[in-house]
Amino acid sequence: MASRRGRWSELLAATFVTVAIAVPVLVASAFVETYVTPDLIRALVAA
């Protein structure tokens, strides 16, 4: 909708906000997958 009205600056700002939110979430999920999940799986298998 914003592109039809020529409000490209709003789209660019929304893109930056989305990326600013997505990057920390991606890093956190990678941390969980790397360090937490293997221990959780080992604990569940051992139980």
Is the predicted pLDDT of residue 1 greater than 70, yes or no?
A: no
Question: What average pLDDT does range 33-39 have in this prediction?
Answer: 96
Q: pTM for the whole thing?
A: 0.71
Q: Which helix (H) or strand (E) holds 31?
A: helix 8-31
Question: What average pLDDT does range 8-27 have in this prediction?
Answer: 95
Is the predicted pLDDT of residue 24 greater than 80, yes or no?
A: yes
6 class by beta-carbon count within 10 Å (0-12 exposed, 13-18 middle, 19+ buried): exposed
